[in-house]
A and B are shown apart, each in its own frame.
Chain A
Amino acid sequence: MSQSLFYLAAFLSVFFSLLVIFSKNPVHSVLYLIITFFTFTIHYVLLNAQFLAIVNFIVYMGAIMVLFLFVLMLLNLNKDTEPAKSNLLKMAGVVAGMCLLVTLVGSVKALNVSNPVVLTNPGLGLVKNLGKVLFNEFLLPFEISSLLLLSAMVGAVLLAKKEA
């Protein structure tokens, strides 16, 4: 049951992420990205990581993608308004993409193949356990990431305040 569900969700996420890249209209692209994130939520649920699933749902689908859509709607990127990109930029893009590919392939090679459905501790993703782990074992990284977010917020406020 969950095995076949996993394959369905995996197929859907690959399919929709390909659509994100290949769709011409940027707004469609963002909408496909939203669906892709939704399939990720299904993956998290299948892994019994309910908290992560719902947070992915709220933060990525409910907030960040809304902002993406918001910006794209305001920009109104059409084919005729889009400036032609220089060859140098295209080359840079190809190089960057290749680098990313190499990194990904390398990291995939370094990974061990694990059973995708069964976890060592199946209750890990539940809110209570996750909270205990976060505030005991990983307290320092947790606090540091919160500091990082705070500094990002202060930076955003500063950028917005700066006289144009």
Chain B
Amino acid sequence: MEIAFVIEKFIFITVIFALSLLVAMYSTLAERKIAAFLQDRVGPNRAGPGGMFQPLADGVKMFLKEEIIPTQSNKFLFIAGPSLAILTACIGSAVIPWGQDIQLFGRTIALQATDINVGILYIFGVVSLGVYGIMIGGWASNNKFSLMGAIRAASQNISYEIPMGLSIIALLLVTNSLSLKDIVEQQHGFQWNVFYQPLGFLIFLVCAFAETNRTPFDLPECETELVGGYHTEYSSMKLGFFLFAEYINMFVSSAVMATLYFGGYNYPGMDFMNSLLGPTFGPLLGMGVLFIKIFAFIFFFMWVRWTIPRFRYDQLMNLGWKVLIPLAIANIVITGLVVAFVNGF
């Protein structure tokens, strides 16, 4: 391990980390703006031009709020909950390939923090850890509503992990690799996996909504039934961390969906553009394309949130166990048959 390599990785990881925090920050503004547009309003527009500095104002507000820790709570776990939530949200972006190898200052730099050969499974593992923050926070609050929220979060996440994993299995039958870099390279140009796995993508999308606790599946924090769910007792920046973790999760799962099913940094005619722009700006354009896809997904997340009402709990469980899992299994069987047929048994 040479020093230059370490420095390069350090800078890259810092940039990605800062980028995901920035995107998450502005997602909060985008959420409010999009909600407003969908409801014929204009949204926050006072802080800076067009409300540009609203996230900063919100952040400052969160930091300056009084911090309340309930006396009967478990103090260590009460603080550990939101910390874990934001930690698991942030580490998910480690294996996502952000672009092709880029030529910068005479060096070839891989635009990916690390290319482990079980990349998908890593993402899957991080997603499954995400529920701990909510559970620990909800339990440590020593509040019935929080506990109910924590339990809902746990059962919901476990239920939706299964169809998510099954839809990934069908995808793996097509790609033959667990490395995200390989999967993206296979989708070169316009051979995106969504054309081969439309049903799998749909299942993955629904599960992504459930895993990020976004609206049709936001039962853990369901205001109408549980006050605030798992973050009922939280205040100040610890509440901010829980809310922020949701947006980072949304960013990471959008990136994963774009990578797995929508070709990541690939776009039609990329070879031509690469030869036109050279080895420095070509990959940067690819990265831009990936970010456009990610923003499109984030918009979709928000669009759905402000359209579809929340599920009832039994509907949630029915959808997960009785619809998505059989569908995902059927998808695996069909995909397996087609792959076997194409490969000539």
Q: A residues within 8 Å of B by Cβ?
A: 27, 31, 34, 50-51, 54-55, 57-58, 61-63, 66-67, 69-70, 73-74, 126-127
Contact = CB atoms under 8 A, between A and B. Distances in A.
Shortest 3 CB-CB distances between A and B: which pairs? A62-B128, A57-B125, A54-B121
A73 B140 CA distance: 10
A132 B19 CA distance: 40
Contacts of B136: 31
B129 interface: yes
B307 interface: no
A63 B118 contact: no
Given A34-B132, A62-B161, A63-B158, A73 B125 contact: no
A58 B155 contact: no
Interface of B: 77, 116-118, 121-122, 124-125, 127-129, 131-132, 135-136, 139, 147, 150-151, 154-155, 157-158, 161, 178
A34 to B, nearest CB: 7
A62 B124 CA distance: 9
Contact of A66 (B117, B147, B154): B154
A61 B88 CA distance: 13
B155 A50 contact: no
A50 B154 contact: no
A58 B118 CA distance: 12
8 contacts: A54-B121, A54-B125, A57-B125, A63-B128, A70-B151, A70-B155, A73-B139, A73-B151
A34 B84 CA distance: 13
A58 B125 contact: yes
A55 B128 CA distance: 11
Contacts of A27: 77, 139
A54 B119 CA distance: 9
A66 B151 contact: no
Nearest to B165: A58
Contacts of A74: 151
Contacts of B77: 27, 31
B129 A69 contact: no
A34 B121 CA distance: 18
Given A27-B139, A50-B117, A50-B118, A73 B158 contact: no
A66 B132 contact: yes
Contacts of A51: 118, 121
B158 to A, nearest CB: 6
Given A50-B118, A54-B118, A73 B135 contact: yes
A17 B290 CA distance: 43
A104 B127 CA distance: 35
* Residue of B121, B127, B131, B154 contacting most chain A CB atoms (<10 Å): B121
A69 B117 contact: no
Given A63-B128, A73-B135, A73-B147, 9 more contacts: A27-B77, A54-B121, A61-B128, A63-B158, A66-B158, A69-B135, A69-B139, A69-B154, A127-B117
Nearest to A50: B118
B158 A67 contact: yes
B223 to A, nearest CB: 22
Contacts of B124: 58, 62
Nearest to B135: A69
B125 A62 contact: yes
Contacts of A69: 132, 135, 139, 154
A116 B223 CA distance: 52
A52 B292 CA distance: 35
B117 A61 contact: no
A72 to B, nearest CB: 9
A74 B147 CA distance: 9
A73 B161 contact: no
Contact of B135 (A58, A63, A70): A70
Contacts of B121: 51, 54-55, 58
A127 B128 contact: no
A73 B77 CA distance: 13
A79 to B, nearest CB: 15
A129 to B, nearest CB: 11
B178 A127 contact: yes
Contacts of B157: 66
B161 A63 contact: yes
A67 B161 CA distance: 13
Nearest to B131: A66
